[in-house]
């Protein structure tokens, strides 16, 4: 629960996860400054629609600047004087990183560096930033635990997110900045990105087009419903890293810094996920079975225990419930 009058600077506010996180913060009484450049990586109109909903709230405003523009983001940070920063802006997508590596270096590395510099010169209570389960890379020891090594990324996207964790740790150590990086596990739900599997699957099934199913469907994911994720981020904002670790902590021995998985620890086979979508749509999919894609992994599973110890709760929405909620939104939004 966010405290009343908490001032939160949230990057990526017009994005999928940023929109849901900002919405919950506003509902809980926080004042939110969104920072977003409305990039054209996917449909900008979808981002504008999300932003329009947020702007209906009197305690929200948006700064249309890029985190790669150090001067612009410095000005909005100083004017707003945040208590907490939640950094969600990123160039996302494993496969896109193979063909467009430069955008990942710019947004994920340079943009994060600019924000870390601001946290150095304009201190905040807590700096939180998004990482990804993709940092576990070639690791096959599941469930993924925050204390495991993450030095084997298999995509540039994962490599840049792992690098931001390391950058964050160094700034946390050097300048005593309380910092939490959270690792997402296959987030889905209403207002999702059009490049995400669930969105593409639903669109194709309703249009009687085949869906591409990689690794012949032999994949498992720890799916996380977006409202659960946003609630976990907000709870973590109050769990400021200090000097006293909890059991099984990833707390650094030399900095007020930790990494935390945000996942429910309930992996679901991809074919069951597709089955839940078929059930919600009332229509079967024509499946185009394909080999594994470059940069992808066959399975993910989060250990949720550190999140539970820090916040008292973990994501619990079932895939059946979450997919049904997505389909309800999708049909209403696209009149499908």
Contact partners, residue 218, CB within 8 Å, separation at least 6: 270, 298
For residue 146, the 8-state DSSP code is T
Tabulate helix, strand, coil % of the chain (nearest 5).
45, 15, 40
For residue 142, with 0-12 CB atoms within 10 Å meaning exposed, 13-18 middle and 19 or more buried, which class applies? middle
For tokens 């496969």, the residue is: 95
Compute the distance between CA of residue 277 and CA of residue 198 in angstroms, rounded to an integer: 8
Q: Which of 96, 157, 171, 225 is catalytic?
A: 157
Nearest to 191 by CA among 27, 48, 38: 48
Beta bridge partners of 213: 289
β-pair type (7-11, 84-87): parallel
Sign of CA dihedral 113, 100, 134, 49: positive
Number of residues in the chain: 336
CA distance 7 to 254: 28
Give the torsion through C-alpha atoms of 282, 285, 286, 292, to 10 deg. Answer: 180
Which is it for strands 126-132 and 179-184: parallel, antiparallel or unpaired?
parallel
**157 in catalytic set:** yes
Indicate the burial class of 39 (C-beta count within 10 angstroms; 0-12, 13-18, 19 or more): middle
Give me the phi and psi of 101, to 5 degrees please: -65, -30
Collect all residues with Cβ–Cβ distance below 8 Å to 125 and sequence separation of at least 6.
Answer: 83, 84, 178, 240
84 and 237 Cβ atoms separated by less than 8 Å: yes
- Give catalytic residue positions: 157
């Amino acid at each position: 629960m966010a405290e009343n009058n908490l001032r939160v600077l949230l990057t990526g506010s017009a994005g999928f996860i940023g929109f849901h996180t900002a919405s919950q913060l506003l509902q809980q009484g926080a004042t939110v400054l969104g920072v977003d450049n409305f990039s054209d990586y996917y449909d900008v109109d979808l981002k504008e629609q999300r932003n329009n909903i947020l702007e209906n709230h009197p305690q929200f405003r948006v700064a249309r600047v890029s985190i790669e523009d150090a001067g612009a983001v410095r000005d909005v940070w100083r004017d707003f004087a945040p208590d907490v920063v939640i950094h969600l802006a990123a160039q996302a997508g494993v496969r896109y990183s193979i063909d467009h590596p430069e955008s990942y270096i710019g947004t994920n590395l340079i943009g994060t560096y600019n924000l870390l510099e601001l946290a150095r010169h304009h201190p905040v209570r807590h700096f939180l930033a998004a990482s990804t389960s993709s940092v576990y890379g070639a690791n096959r020891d599941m469930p993924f635990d925050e204390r495991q090594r993450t030095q084997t990324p298999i995509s540039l996207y994962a490599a840049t997110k792992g690098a931001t964790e390391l950058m964050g740790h160094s700034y946390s150590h050097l300048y005593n900045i309380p910092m939490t990086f959270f690792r997402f596990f296959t987030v889905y739900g209403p207002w999702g990105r059009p490049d995400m599997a669930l969105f593409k699957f639903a669109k194709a099934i309703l249009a009687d087009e085949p869906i591409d199913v990689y690794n012949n469907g032999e994949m498992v994911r720890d799916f996380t419903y977006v409202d659960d994720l946003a609630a976990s981020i907000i709870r973590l904002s109050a769990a400021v890293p200090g000097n006293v670790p909890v059991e099984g902590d990833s707390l650094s021995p030399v900095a007020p810094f930790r990494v935390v998985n945000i996942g429910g620890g309930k992996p679901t086979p991809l074919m069951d996920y597709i089955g839940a979508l078929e059930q919600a749509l009332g229509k079967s999919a024509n499946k185009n079975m394909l080999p594994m894609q470059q940069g992808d992994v066959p399975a993910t599973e989060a250990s949720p225990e550190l999140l539970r110890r820090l916040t008292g709760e973990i994501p619990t929405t079932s895939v059946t419930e979450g997919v049904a909620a997505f389909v309800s939104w999708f049909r209403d939004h696209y009149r499908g």
